[in-house]
A and B are shown apart, each in its own frame.
Chain A
Amino acid sequence: MQIENAKDIIVCDGVKKWFGDFQALKGVTTTIKEQEVVVVIGPSGSGKSTLIRCINRLEAHQEGSIVVDGIELTNDLRNIEKIRSEVGMVFQQFNLFPHLTVMDNITLAPMWVRKKPRDEAEETGMELLERVGIPEQANKYPGQLSGGQQQRVAIARALAMRPKIMLFDEPTSALDPEMIKEVLDVMKELALSGMTMIVVTHEMGFAREVADRVLFFDYGTIVEDGTPEHFFTNPQHDRTKLFLSQIL
């Protein structure tokens, strides 16, 4: 596969993170290559969301190192802002800006962080809305859209920054069942286009079909790391087997 030769874009080395006394990450070491699609699976509270939130510094890790696109995450605010503008994030609760129209949601960051002129930002915004299939909603407010549409806007908003990496934090968990597919379709298309993606999800079908690699998390560590085929058919650890037997 061509990914084998691709360069490392995220390198986590012994990442540890505590919330008070509770240790959420107990030394996570992994490397993600360009164009790789990594699906992170695990029970609630296993630290999978914490890991991707550490990658764009929404949470600060306390030990170990995270290097994103050659820049190490430290407390230096400018490094953080630089990395954040290269890493798109899609949240479980969408977190669209309710006081702005869909188009303004998408163009705000390109205009003020990337300093793009408004015309150009709106042109890109319209292209992205077409890509996620809702160009006709450009002038509506988020509150007027369905959950699935809102999440697709959130994906378009993240893509508008032309990120090198996309992080998805349980993007379909807050959606009604009939809206999950429309969001997964957009993500699938994105994966095929060669985007580097880390997806925390409970959608096993998505993991099996789209992922290059599956990470199984439990108690703050990576328990299983392998291809989807390996993960679903021939897991090595008892914990993974137990988990799979409960959900499949």
Chain B
Amino acid sequence: MAEKKIILPEIEELAPEPPPKGPVVWMKDNLFYSVSSTILTLLGLLIAVLFIRGMVGFILADERKWEAITTNMRLLMVQAYPQEASWRLWLALGIIFVLLGLSLAFWHAGGKAEPRKVGRAVAAAGGFVVFVVLVAPFETNARVFGLIIGGVLIVAGLGAVRLLGERAKEATVPVLLIAAILAGVAVAALWLIQVPVPDPEGGVGESQLAGIATTTSGPWTILYLVTIASYFLGLFLRRVIPERAGRLALVVLWTMAFPIIVLHLARGVEFQNVGQYLTIGVAFAAVGSLIIWFLADPARGELGRGLAGLLLVIAIASWVVSALILIRLMLLLLALFALGGPTFAGGERATRIRYVGVWVGAVVITVYMMLLATGVSLVQTSNETVFGGFFLTWILAIGGIALSFPMGVVLALGRTSTMPIFRLLSTIYIELVRGVPLITWLLVSIVVFPILFPLGVNFVAPAKVTLFIAFFSAAYLAENVRGGLQAISKGQTEAANALGMTTLQRTVFITLPQALRAVIPALVGQVIAIFKDTSLVAIVGLFDILKIGRDIIPTQTQPYNFLGSLRESLLAVAVFYWIFTFIFSRISLQLEERLGVGKR
């Protein structure tokens, strides 16, 4: 049969673009299309005007003591962390920003934005500025200044689109470039914006103007440049080393970054028992490698599984008898590696060698972690802990979330498992933990912790609190993940089974990734909730950003009198929380879009 070729007209020819609508038409179509919509639009507008007037009026009022915030910025961020050690925190931030730059490059972050949309966004921002300046109680000078800025933004935004004309359809602007420009503006603002600070020679309540960040604008500028530099370094490295290997390395580095920063860098550590721990580590690395190499060999068959099970029994037994924590952890780790051997490493020599390599890496990390956990802090403050302020908020949030994710996943798998014991235990845990308020668990962490762990294990307050935040959050995460697991069709499990995958492989490669992807919005909601719930730690005597803003700054009388600045500091704290929760939710949207690839 000869193939017939039917020539169809191009789609574009069939559907010419609708004529552009003017703003008046748009408003009529979207805001005033019926009586009720007109009423609701006007009502919404009224609420917006009242809110903006009230807010700006509050901020600009003469009696506001904003110098209470600017003077105490350091206190809000890191509380009593000693000034002379602050290089440690800047270095920590440096590590994070370098990793960020590299990761952006390796994960091909940021798409292309249409110039027309960018132009419209700029114009909309200008319009918002004009709106605020007009409705809020500004002075005449400020109003004129604001109108000029807004006008420039509108003209620039719309003008750029007009200038590009037809080319605007094809041209693109990299999203990362826009982000870099916005961040650059923020950094420049640190140098340029003047804020009131107390006049050291003036009387109480008098203030003068100074740069918003006299001591930190330098470091922030350096960090900004470092991030951009590491992005370009990442672009270069991406061409030199395989992308997959680079990503794997970055994931490991990100995972390690938190303990290294919090336990090592920020705290400063004088290691104890180095010789003993290193000996144990080397012994386990050597003997363990041989054992794993032996057991992962497919030729072992039944015997291998039996021996690995025996190792697990020994590991569990070591927690009942008296032994070093390091040895107990190592035995447990060895048993898990031995059990996973046939699943992840059996067969080819190369995979077995890689598996043994992973084992040695795990040993090194465990020894390092235990050295950190038992080390003595070098940075000294008047508090029990060196951590405070927004820094503490972040430590609790990241630590809690990072620990609760694996726990939550395991609980969710347990609750959906076919094994009755695991199902029952998981269900009991989840219902028990969710049934009690977080504050209660925080009190438990401080008061009951030493009794709960009778093995002589005890941590400083932030560690205990982090653990309990993780325990608490894990129960909620488990329920979210369970929802995702139940949404996966039976066909997926059958297809994985039909390919001969083991239950573990099926869970790790097929069901879990899909389940987690399906519940990203709920997971991000949980992350945001934990981030804000960390403010509850004030109840157990830790000084997080909210505690400082509420109880410390408004009671300061020396060297400056900030009595009665409660509302200012609460607003400032709220802004800090809001900035980051907003960023989280944006990232979540991006993530959904990226991972939703192909599933439409």
Residues of A that sit less than 8 Å from B by CB: 56, 58, 81-82, 84-89, 91, 93, 95-99, 101, 108-109, 112-117, 140-144, 157-158, 161
Contact = CB atoms under 8 A, between A and B. Distances in A.
Contacts, number: 84
A142 B595 CA distance: 13
Nearest to A105: B495
A96 B495 contact: yes
Given A89-B498, A99-B595, A142-B598, 13 more contacts: A81-B502, A91-B494, A93-B491, A95-B489, A95-B494, A97-B510, A99-B517, A108-B509, A112-B343, A115-B347, A117-B348, A143-B599, A158-B499
Chain B facing A: main interface SS: helix
B497 A113 contact: no
B342 to A, nearest CB: 10
30 contacts: A58-B494, A81-B500, A81-B501, A82-B500, A84-B498, A84-B499, A85-B500, A88-B498, A89-B495, A89-B498, A91-B498, A97-B510, A98-B598, A99-B513, A99-B514, A99-B517, A112-B344, A112-B505, A112-B509, A113-B500, A113-B505, A115-B346, A140-B598, A142-B598, A143-B598, A143-B599, A144-B598, A158-B498, A161-B499, A161-B500
Q: Which of A99, A114, A141 has the most CB of B within 10 A?
A: A99
A141 B597 contact: yes
B492 interface: yes
A98 B241 CA distance: 28
B498 A58 contact: yes
Contact of A95 (B344, B345, B491): B491
B555 to A, nearest CB: 53
B21 interface: no
B517 A113 contact: no
Contacts of A82: 500
Contacts of B513: 99
Interface of B: 343-348, 350-351, 489, 491-492, 494-502, 505, 509-510, 513-514, 517, 595, 597-600
Contacts of B492: 95, 97
B499 A109 contact: yes
A91 B598 CA distance: 20
Contacts of B350: 117
Top 7 A-B pairs, shortest CB-CB distance: A141-B598, A115-B347, A85-B500, A95-B495, A143-B598, A109-B499, A89-B498
B446 to A, nearest CB: 42
Nearest to A120: B348
A56 B496 CA distance: 12
A82 B489 CA distance: 24
A47 to B, nearest CB: 18
A141 B598 CA distance: 5
Contacts of A85: 499-500
B299 to A, nearest CB: 13
Nearest to A56: B498
A58 B351 CA distance: 30
Contacts of A113: 499-502, 505
A113 B600 CA distance: 30
A143 B497 contact: no
A10 B496 CA distance: 22
A142 B491 CA distance: 15
Nearest to A161: B499
Contacts of A142: 598
A87 B146 CA distance: 73
Interface centre among A87, A89, A108, A115 (most CB of B within 10 A): A115
Contacts of B598: 98, 101, 140-144
Most central of B492, B517, B598 by chain A CB within 10 Å:
B598
A77 B510 CA distance: 19
Contacts of A56: 498
A116 B499 contact: no
A85 B500 CA distance: 5
A81 B347 CA distance: 16
A91 B600 contact: no
Specify which of B343, B513, B599, B600 lies most central, judged by the most chain A CB atoms within 10 Å of its CB.
B599
Nearest to A104: B509
Contact of A58 (B497, B595, B597, B599): B497
A108 to B, nearest CB: 6
A207 B165 CA distance: 61
Contacts of B491: 91, 93, 95
Nearest to B302: A78
B599 A141 contact: yes
Contacts of A116: 347-348
Contacts of B497: 58, 84
Nearest to A116: B348
